[in-house]
């Protein structure tokens, strides 16, 4: 059954309209990934300023830990996490453009692999974030119940 499905997929051809859609998609992906890299750079540069801003706030002076360093660390961690989906999206755009020009099936497959990696990363990250939200809601309900 699986072999039959793979054989059917191998016979798939791209029409000129499909190639046009992929070319346009690759352009938009490149645009969005470049904006992502710029935003990532600004976020990493800003992470060091945010630390200084938090350290100069009077409310954080009484904290038993360095809030500025913690915020800088969080921004850097989020930046390092965010680099992967941006990179995958950029690689998809570059490889798709190359595949459409060269008509190379291996490069086309590699482009779609990058797109799959991008969406897989976004999906797993979304599941993690939603799990954190659910956990926070449960903790909040338990805390509210314990207060009464």
Dump pLDDT digits (tens) for 79-118: 999 999 999 999 999 999 999 999 999 999 999 999 999 9
d(CA 52, CA 41): 18
DSSP run (H or E) holding 128:
helix 105-147
> Token pair of 53, please?
């801003």
DSSP run (H or E) holding 126:
helix 105-147
- Cβ neighbours for 70, distance < 8 A, ≥ 6 positions apart: none
pTM summary value: 0.80
> Token pair of 5, please?
């499905």
């Amino acid at each position: 059954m699986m072999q039959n499905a793979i054989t059917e997929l191998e016979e798939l051809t791209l029409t000129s309209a499909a190639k046009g859609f992929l070319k346009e998609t690759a352009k938009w992906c490149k645009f969005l990934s470049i904006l992502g890299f710029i935003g990532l750079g600004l976020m990493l540069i800003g992470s060091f300023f945010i630390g200084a801003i938090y350290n100069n706030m009077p409310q954080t002076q009484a904290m038993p830990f360095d809030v500025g360093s913690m915020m800088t660390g969080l921004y850097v961690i989020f930046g390092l996490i965010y680099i992967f989906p941006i990179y995958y999206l950029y690689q998809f755009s570059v490889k798709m453009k190359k595949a459409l020009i060269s008509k190379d099936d291996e490069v086309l497959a590699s482009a779609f692999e990058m797109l799959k990696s991008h969406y897989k990363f976004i999906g797993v990250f979304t599941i993690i974030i939603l799990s954190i939200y659910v956990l926070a809601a449960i903790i909040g309900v338990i805390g509210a119940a314990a207060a009464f």
